[in-house]
Amino acid sequence: MITLPNECYYLIFNNFQHDYKNLFSCSLVNRQWYRIIIPILWNEPKEHHFKDIKFIRTSLLTLNAEEQALLNPFNITLTSHQKPLFEYTSYVTFVSKDYLDYGVKSWLHYQGYETEYKLANAVTCSLIVMFLRASKNLKYLSLNELICDKIIFEKLYENTTVTSMHLYLYNSDFKPKATDALVNLFYKNSTLTSLNLSSNQLGPEGIKPLLNALDKNNVLNSLNLSSNQLGLEGIKTLLNALNKNNVLNSLNLYNNQIKTEGGMVLAKFLSKNTTLISLDLSSNNLGSDGGKALADALCENTTLNSLDLNWNSIGTRGAKALADALCKNTTLTSLNLSVNKLESEGGKAIADALCKNKTLKDLNLYWCVLRSAGGKALANALCKNTTLKSLNLELNLLRTDGGKALAAALCKNTTLTSLNLRRNELEPEVGKALANALCKNTTMTSLYLGGDSVNRNNLGSEGGTKIA
């Protein structure tokens, strides 16, 4: 057999990284292939791997004396198998506490132990401590209240590989303690760049210690605080901290009851901020006044690339203000205005802005009630715009006139690659027009035309056949 350099084998086998069965078969050919393939197989264990009893058993064989001692109070007897030939766990790149829990309980049941909470938690804790110690490639960690465990916190403090962490606190009694642990971690850890605290309902007071620590952290660049009931007071505390922080560039504030007044406070901050690149403000009931305030901020901001304003009751007035901002802003590349009832007039304003804007690449107008008039205005904009690549117009009552106008625009547009026209009550003649347009268009790679029993496209067999 011809022998290739290991680098070549790695490139070949890496192409099969998700074909576990065949990749494992290749690992059995010889020791050289085995040594190359095992790191690939263990690099990204999937959900079902963590739930596998064999995975848990192999991982437990890697525990050192300190980690095994965590199991002593529960009289857990680990099998005395010989240690694995490879330190398999050293290749793991992410660990999820929830997935581990399932696998641990399955292993305990298989071994004849009762799967009560404290016992399962002790085994899971010992495994997480082991991964923090043994894995040289561990990047992502998902935890719950276990972060309050002293030994896990100590290992997190010492760890120099984890860059992303998701913390979900099921038990409200642990929230203050967990927040304090995170604050200490902010001060001591020098590698954590991404933190997800979504759906913890911490509230403005619960989140305050963590936010106050942000001004002293110079590593974290991505923070997800969605669904935490921050409200106006929480937003003020956050922005006060961000005024002193110059590294955070991605912020998710989805569903935080910010409302109009909070939107105005955010807008004032955004007009001067020079670090944020991505901001998610979806589902916050900002209203048209909040939308207008943010539009004014976009006229001054020079760094934001992505803005999500989905489901904020922005309305026609807010849409017109944002359209004016798009004529002036030169950095925004992605804008989500879905579920905002912009109406035809709002759609026309956005369309006029697209004729002038030179930077926007992704625009989401899902369920904005644009109707045929809004669709025709956007079609006219597509004939002139040279930067937009993705446009979502699903569920907008575009009907025949709007659909035919968009089809005609596709004959002229040379940049759009993805167009969503699902659930727009399009008739067969629109299908024919789109088919003819696709024969001439050279850039479109994705066109969505499906629907459901209530809101559908009536392209018919003739229209559908033409497109096919």
Contact of 306 with 334, CB cutoff 8 Å: yes
Alpha helices per DSSP H over 135-248:
150-158, 175-188, 203-214, 231-242
Question: What mean pLDDT is predicted for residues 104-117?
Answer: 90
Contact of 165 with 143, CB cutoff 8 Å: yes
**Distance (Å, whole) CA 204 – CA 171:** 18
Q: Model's pTM, two decimal places? A: 0.91
**What is the pLDDT at residue 14?**
87
Residue that the structure tokens 């999500």 belong to: 308
Q: Is the pLDDT of residue 441 over 70?
A: yes
Helix H or strand E encompassing 56: helix 53-60
**What is the pLDDT at residue 174?**
80
**What is the pLDDT at residue 34?**
84
Other beta carbons less than 10 A from residue 275's beta carbon: 15
Question: What mean pLDDT is predicted for residues 267-295?
Answer: 98
Q: Is the pLDDT of residue 170 over 60?
A: yes
Question: What mean pLDDT is predicted for residues 172-181?
Answer: 85
Contact of 258 with 284, CB cutoff 8 Å: yes
Confidence band for 202, pLDDT divided at 50, 70 and 90: very high
Give 253's contacts (C-beta < 8 A, 6+ positions apart).
Answer: 225, 226, 230, 235, 279, 280, 281, 284
Helix H or strand E encompassing 24: helix 20-27
**Distance (Å, whole) CA 444 – CA 415:** 8
Confidence band for 431, pLDDT divided at 50, 70 and 90: very high
**What is the pLDDT at residue 464?**
56
Q: Is the pLDDT of residue 439 over 80?
A: yes
Question: What mean pLDDT is predicted for residues 314-337?
Answer: 98
Confidence band for 463, pLDDT divided at 50, 70 and 90: low
Helix H or strand E encompassing 287: helix 287-300
Q: Is the pLDDT of residue 46 over 90?
A: no
What are the residue boundaries of the structural domains of the chain, listed by start?
Answer: 1-43
The token pair at 33 is 């292939």
Q: Is the pLDDT of residue 449 over 70?
A: yes
| Residues present in the chain in total | 468
Question: What mean pLDDT is predicted for residues 432-446?
Answer: 95
**What is the pLDDT at residue 173?**
80
**Distance (Å, whole) CA 379 – CA 407:** 8
Do β-strands 194-196 and 222-224 pair in parallel, antiparallel, or remain unpaired?
Answer: parallel
Question: What mean pLDDT is predicted for residues 364-376?
Answer: 98
**What is the pLDDT at residue 455?**
62
Other beta carbons less than 10 A from residue 278's beta carbon: 15
**Distance (Å, whole) CA 245 – CA 56:** 41
Backbone angles phi, psi at 243, to 5 degrees: -65, -25
**Distance (Å, whole) CA 259 – CA 287:** 7
Average pLDDT of the chain to the nearest whole number: 91
Confidence band for 452, pLDDT divided at 50, 70 and 90: low
